[in-house]
Chain A
């Protein structure tokens, strides 16, 4: 059974619908890209999936293999984080907090998980550095390591490459692909229609006129893609 099934989902803020009739399934190991025009409700959908906003109507169903909060999340960067005094290690460790009921301090296990993820993201040498002095790409790796520390099953990314330079962007997508190959399910909101979609297995297109959910190949033959890519001149 699919990890997550969305049925007739309608998302929005304070009772005002932004996007309606969203239906999709996310299998274990899937790589789903969410595309659509600005303001189509991509970020709102992400917030709803992450329980930050309540759905207006419809259902989000979880299979027995995953709990609703078993998710790693890579947010768009917030201004608070720009001058936040925290070391890389502290941030990655904070991801493990979701793994346990309540313990005041980090266990050896938590530290091992954080260490593994820092090594995987190649930021182990930076662990004592201050987050605010890192480059954009390094910051994304730190936040990615934190997300991985929170969940081994599902990773949600909201416009992860905005503000990164092209070389770092390419490296970042490769990193995500690697994680997906290792079995992690990915949901990613993307602006980038070329590189961003390259590794996707499924596409969810949301918008006022067209709604599409299916494999990537089918998407490029669909009306939704034609209309969308036609408008953006690509």
Chain B
């Protein structure tokens, strides 16, 4: 035990480890907030599709050598989110087919670009870290940490400000619309927030695992709590704790950060499922 404490103390001397923990916890907090909405409005697919789009955008960003990949990925993913949402609401085009199409296309293009234009000697390593996060969180630049903190604060502020409306459109969109709420606006807002969360989350767990970060804490919390507020608060707490534990474990045992966090999330979900099976 003493060994572990010493080892942690040693690592926390380094600023990049502190950054990693701060960023990790913030991202985990943001990503858990909209989980319930995503699950219950059947937007999980959109989240998954968007993360692939974000991967493609990131590849373009690294080819263009921009100072921060986020500057490219963020707008592209937000536009994709708005378009996908519009599609899924239209009866004429099959929403899920469109999402599947866009997401695999983005994956393929992203991988191809990285292969053709990459200046790095280790292309598969780059791809792997974009997909699974791997060590990228420990190599964050100061500027990326700042971007991450700013966007996290925006996401949290928007969520608190629109909390009651987000509840209303998630629970019963028709009622909200019939009583005069601008549901189109709020759906777009939710899509944009999801896009921002996905881009932020890619730094932590990579684009393939980000959906897990969004959905697992909410699904676990839904097993325990009776009210929407309770679910949101508990899923935020669970997500933060899991992310923190995951980062610590990955530092101590040199496991990949993203995969470790998602594994911890999954263990919590399985535990919740087994304990609260009857309900």
Quick check: A87 and B226 within 8 Å, CB to CB? yes
Query: Which stretch (B103-111, B121-129, B157-165, B245-253) binds chain A?
Result: B157-165
Q: A150: nearest residue on chain B (CB-CB)? A: B179
Query: Which stretch (B70-78, B140-148, B227-235) binds chain A?
Result: B227-235
Quick check: B226 and A73 within 8 Å, CB to CB? no
Q: B168: nearest residue on chain A (CB-CB)? A: A94
Interface of B is mostly: helix
List A contacts of B40 (CB < 8 A). 80, 83-84
Quick check: B178 and A71 within 8 Å, CB to CB? yes
Q: Does B171 contact A (CB under 8 A)?
A: yes
Give the contacts of A80-128 with B (CB-CB under 8 A). Answer: 80-81, 83-87, 89-91, 93-95, 97-98, 104-106, 128
Set B171, B174, B222: member contacting A73, Cβ < 8 A: B174
List A contacts of B112 (CB < 8 A). none
Q: A147: nearest residue on chain B (CB-CB)? A: B175
Q: Does A56 contact B (CB under 8 A)?
A: no
Quick check: A81 and B171 within 8 Å, CB to CB? yes
Give the contacts of A49-98 with B (CB-CB under 8 A). Answer: 50-52, 67-69, 71-73, 75, 78, 80-81, 83-87, 89-91, 93-95, 97-98
Quick check: B174 and A87 within 8 Å, CB to CB? no
- How distant is the Cα of A172 from the Cα of B89 in the complex, in angstroms? 34
Set A75, A98, A129: member contacting B174, Cβ < 8 A: A75
List B contacts of A87 (CB < 8 A). 226-230
Set A72, A86, A98, A151: member contacting B171, Cβ < 8 A: A86
Q: B279: nearest residue on chain A (CB-CB)? A: A133
Set A72, A83, A95, A130: member contacting B226, Cβ < 8 A: A130
Quick check: B172 and A81 within 8 Å, CB to CB? yes
Quick check: B163 and A104 within 8 Å, CB to CB? yes
B171: min CB distance to chain A, Å = 6
Given contacts A87-B227, A104-B161, contact A69 B172 (CB under 8 A): no
Give the contacts of B151-184 with A (CB-CB under 8 A). Answer: 160-165, 167-168, 170-172, 174-181
Q: Does B41 contact A (CB under 8 A)?
A: yes
Set A71, A75, A104, A156: member contacting B162, Cβ < 8 A: A104
Given contacts A14-B91, A80-B41, contact A97 B171 (CB under 8 A): no
- How distant is the Cα of A178 from the Cα of B162 in the complex, in angstroms? 35
Q: Does A146 contact B (CB under 8 A)?
A: yes
Quick check: A90 and B228 within 8 Å, CB to CB? yes
- How distant is the Cα of A151 from the Cα of B165 in the complex, in angstroms? 17
- How distant is the Cα of A135 from the Cα of B27 in the complex, in angstroms? 39
Quick check: B226 and A78 within 8 Å, CB to CB? no
- 10 of the cross-chain contacts (CB-CB < 8 Å) are A50-B174, A51-B177, A52-B178, A73-B179, A75-B172, A75-B175, A94-B167, A128-B226, A133-B279, A150-B175
